[in-house]
C-alpha cells in the first residue's frame, strides 16, 4: 500500500482518482486506507494518486509492503465485495 505524508497540502486531487476509494480526508491531511489500496494493481499500470499529487507526498507505506500477487488478491477481494 501507499501512504500520504504530512507534506500533503489537502489539494483534494488524489481522492477522486483512486479506483478503490482508499483515499479519504483525515483529521488534518488526506489518508490512505491500506486495506483498500492495491497500489492500483488490477486497475492501472501506475498508482494514480502518485501521478496527480502536485507535491509528491505519496510514498510506499513501509509498514504495509506487499507483493504484486498479494496486491492482486486484494484487488480480487475488493471487487468481489461490490
Enumerate binding residues for ligand SF4 (CB under 6 A).
2, 4, 8-14, 17-18, 20, 22-23, 30, 32, 37-40, 47-49, 52-53, 55, 57-58
Distance CA 35, CA 58 (A): 16
> Residue 47 CB, nearest distance to ligand SF4 (Å)?
3
Q: What is the separation, in whole angstroms, between the first and last Cα of the chain?
A: 20
Distance CA 28, CA 73 (A): 31
> Residue 80 CB, nearest distance to ligand SF4 (Å)?
16
> Residue 55 CB, nearest distance to ligand SF4 (Å)?
5
Amino acid at each position: 500500500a501507499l501512504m500520504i505524508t504530512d507534506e500533503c497540502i489537502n489539494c483534494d486531487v488524489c481522492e477522486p482518482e483512486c479506483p478503490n476509494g482508499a483515499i479519504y480526508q483525515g483529521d488534518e491531511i488526506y489518508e490512505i486506507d491500506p486495506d483498500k489500496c492495491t497500489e492500483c494493481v488490477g486497475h492501472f499500470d501506475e498508482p494514480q494518486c502518485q501521478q496527480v499529487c502536485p507535491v509528491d507526498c505519496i510514498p510506499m507505506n513501509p509498514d504495509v509492503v506487499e507483493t504484486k500477487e498479494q496486491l492482486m488478491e486484494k484487488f480480487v477481494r475488493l471487487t468481489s465485495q461490490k
